[in-house]
Amino acid sequence: MHATSGRLVAALVVVSFAASLPIAPLHAQAREQTTAMTPRTADPPARAGSEQVAVFAGGCFWGVEGVFEHLKGVKSATSGYAGGSVASPSYEEVSSGETRHAESVRVVYDPAVISYDQLLEVFFKVAHDPTQLDRQGPDTGTQYRSVVFYGDQSQRESAEAYVAKLRAAKAFSRPIVTEITPLGTFYPAESYHQHYMERHPYQPYILINDAPKVAHLRKAFPALYRDPPTD
């Protein structure tokens, strides 16, 4: 995202103003941009061969999606819902916490360019804080919990091994609370949630909570970073 000097000044003004406001309401207001709710069906599996799928949950899906969209080898990142008990849930249902879905991101990637282990590393080190239980930053509730949804035994073993390595290295000052659980059905979220960070780069919630993640990604993983992000 390349901003003109005028936009940078405007962004600074927005950040200054937003800092005096409660974050949760900003988040809620942004998510009420549309009243047209389109029914969702399960996302189709990725094509065999050059594509593989990984699904992660780590707080608001806007920022998680925004991080993965900036990775080389990622073909698509889709915000959605996973890990719950209700078919085709709406955002309002998921937000109640009663369906047990987590806001999640489905990542379709080329394993010849980026590995599942590299996705795990970015997820744990950049996309979210794996020590926050049933919350992430200003957002609270089980829908914001930290989860690695594995699609097969290989992904399960990779995730468990990576978490064990982080714990052994004492990479975090607090315990890792990330769930490692089988992926059931993934439901894409409403259209207004998709590519939200890219479409609303100066929205206060994005500036405060998510833009720093992309900046961190660029600094920590320069060989994997790409700009502009994937579609």
The gap from C-alpha 71 to its chain's centroid, in whole angstroms, comes to 13
Of the candidates 87, 104, 71, the residue with the CA atom closest to the CA atom of residue 179: 104
- Whether 189 is a known active-site residue: answer no
Task: Write out the H or E segment, with its range, that includes residue 66.
Answer: helix 61-68
Q: Which of 53, 55, 57, 60 is catalytic?
A: 60
Look at phi and psi of residue 170 and say left if phi exceeds 0, alpha if psi is from -120 to 50, else beta.
Answer: left
Distance, CA of 98 to CA of 100 (rounded, Å): 6
Backbone angles phi, psi at 69, to 5 degrees: -65, -20
Burial of 80 (0-12, 13-18, 19+ CB in 10 A): buried
- DSSP assigned state of 33: S
Distance, CA of 136 to CA of 162 (rounded, Å): 21
| Alpha-carbon distances, residue 13 vs 47, 72, 98, 166 (angstroms) | 45, 32, 38, 38
Catalytic residues: 60
